Copies of this chain bind each other. A is one copy, B any other.
Amino acid sequence: MVSGIFNVSTSSSRELINITELVSAELAMNTISSGLLYLFNPHTTAGLTINEGADPDVRTDIIKGLSHIVPDTLNYKHMEGNSPSHLMALLTGSSLTLQIENSRLVLGTWQKIFFCEYDGPRVRTVNWKIIAD
């Protein structure tokens, strides 16, 4: 298995960033024709997801929806004040697994891979590992 890490710089407190090209670039550096690609977010106020990439309004609607679903104030005890961000991390999930066929990621027509920033802006990292066939 080959593995690596890349950085993602986020620019606002909450946003979805399309990292599909970053992920594909890591994959292109390794000659894996078939297998699985594992992606891991090592942060507790961020996540990884797959969703629509064509219309940028989808990702802003998702942030708007999550900010509505998760209450900003709720008698939270965590002193850092970012409990809503930790909740969004749980709702999103911290890792993804993707299929590799013919040296390319298998994604649906409208799907892109997103890094979900819920407590930025920050420089974040994403770990990856490939299980070759």
Asked if A42 is an interface residue, CB under 8 A from chain B, the answer is: yes
As for how many copies of this chain the complex holds, the number is: 3
Contact B91 A51 (CB under 8 A): no
Interface presence of A10 (CB below 8 A): no
Q: Tell me the bound Cα distance from A52 to B94 in angstroms.
A: 12
Chain A contact residues, CB within 8 Å of chain B? 1, 3, 34-36, 38, 40-44, 49-52, 55, 57-58, 60-62, 64-66, 68-71, 74-80, 83-84, 86-87, 89-99, 101, 106-111, 127, 129, 131, 133
Ranked nearest first, the 8 interchain pairs of A and B with the lowest CB-CB distance are A42-B108, A61-B83, A57-B77, A44-B52, A57-B78, A65-B87, A61-B76, A1-B133
